[in-house]
Copies of this chain bind each other. A is one copy, B any other.
Amino acid sequence: MSKVRIIDVAREAGVSLGTVSNALNHPERVRPDTRRSIEEAIERLGYTPNQSARMLRGGHARALGIVVPQLAHAAILQVVNGANTEARRLGLDVLVAYADNLETQRRHLSFLQGSQMAGVIVMPVDDAWRAPANPAVPIVTVGAVREEAGWYVAEDHRAQGRIVATHLIARGCARIAVIGSARSARMLRRLEGIRAAAADRGVELEVLDAGDRAVSGDGYTLGSALATRAADERPDAIIGLTDVLAAGAIDGVLAAGLSVPGDVAIAGCDGNPFAWCGPISLTTCAPLGYELGRRAVQTLVGLIRERAEQQERAARDARTLTLPHPERSRKTAPARGEVGGPQYADGAPDADERDEAHRELVRPFLLVRESTVAGAGAKEGAAAIPERNVGAYL
């Protein structure tokens, strides 16, 4: 059973320990027949190299970690899929951990760092999350941006709100109701974008609170309430700050006997395929999770390479100077207050010190569909056969 070590394999194959290690790590250094008999021994014993020992000895991890707040969300799955695909393309594996609270997230992050992952991607579970100042491995934050130092990749929520509102205004809508929840930072930022667009064109805006949960039922309730107003007090468009709310609003408006988009045009903002099951296809922003995941990995791999070069350089310098004990680059961390602003060590900008926040925003684009433009779905093909697998969007 377990606890087969390299020495056991060596004995079984009748070779020395070092030869087995070579066969595993430098196959070319071992004669083919020797290698074969070693492989057979490994197979016979069910040997699995102890990764802890390997990493401890100084190996380089070929895996990235990603910490996400949940899996039952389309955008998150897209991020994970995008990250995985891009990482595999670059020859890296991905391990996913999920954490529905700050404490668990902190533990996972610490575990992945301590497990010598090459790097870690984090989708914060909570707006209160802060990236660690001196991570043991590079960290990229996805889906949120902060003021603190760190690397961030996120959707541009303001732009999402803006392009959705602009689309509706261009279609002639003059009274727009927005439904959403103030508790979510991303919904608030979408609202800012909508406000900006509306202010530019002098469009009347009304904001309704969907409550903390903001499920589709809340959209339904608000949608039907709006639809039962007198015609001259009724908005001609509704924006859901999430697609789930917008999809609920469509149901609510239809249930009240009005038509979509004839009486009321409705649009979402966050491109969530899980909400696209309604009777009328929803105008919204295209899902960008996949792209976010890809970019996060690209950013991360850049950081990993940078760090590797840095360490190599440090090692080389140490060797060149023939220091008896190549001093560890164990600089004490900067005090809390110093983090955040750009810092320069004695004149030359050092990669270590370049710890300002790097924010990459992914530009949204609009999916125009039937909920704002009658017949927009027909664009997809004359005799379109509907795809009934939401998984295809992930």
Contact = CB atoms under 8 A, between A and B. Distances in A.
Contact of A385 (B4, B220, B331): B220
A319 interface: no
A97 B94 contact: yes
Given A72-B392, A244-B388, A46 B98 contact: no
Given A50-B56, A80-B71, A96-B96, A387 B332 contact: no
A134 B46 contact: yes
Interface stretch (A109-117, A183-191, A229-237, A364-372): A109-117
A279 interface: yes
Max chain B C-beta neighbours (<10 A), residue from A56, A251, A335, A386: A386
Contact of A52 (B56, B74, B248): B56
B216 A387 contact: yes
A84 interface: yes
A328 B3 contact: yes
A277 interface: yes
A198 interface: no
A132 interface: yes
25 contacts: A2-B134, A2-B135, A3-B328, A3-B330, A44-B332, A45-B332, A49-B110, A49-B114, A50-B114, A51-B114, A51-B115, A53-B56, A71-B81, A71-B394, A72-B394, A93-B97, A94-B98, A95-B96, A96-B98, A215-B389, A216-B385, A221-B385, A248-B388, A274-B390, A275-B388
Contacts of A46: 132-136, 333
A330 B4 contact: yes
Contacts of A136: 2-4, 46, 48
A73 B247 contact: no
A252 to B, nearest CB: 8
Given A53-B52, A111-B63, A113-B48, A352 B134 contact: no
Given A1-B331, A56-B56, A332-B45, A216 B388 contact: yes
A207 interface: no
A360 interface: no
B52 A274 contact: no
Interface residues of A, number: 83
A387 B108 contact: no
Contacts of A114: 48-52, 54
A118 interface: no
Contacts of A251: 385-386, 388
B63 A72 contact: no
A77 interface: yes
A347 interface: no
Closest 3 CB pairs of A and B: A46-B134, A72-B394, A216-B388
A115 to B, nearest CB: 4
A305 interface: no
Given A8-B330, A52-B116, A93-B97, 5 more contacts: A3-B328, A4-B134, A44-B332, A46-B134, A52-B114
Nearest to A389: B244
Nearest to A57: B52
Given A3-B330, A52-B56, A134-B1, A277 B275 contact: no
Interface string A68-107: 0001111001001100100010000111111000001001
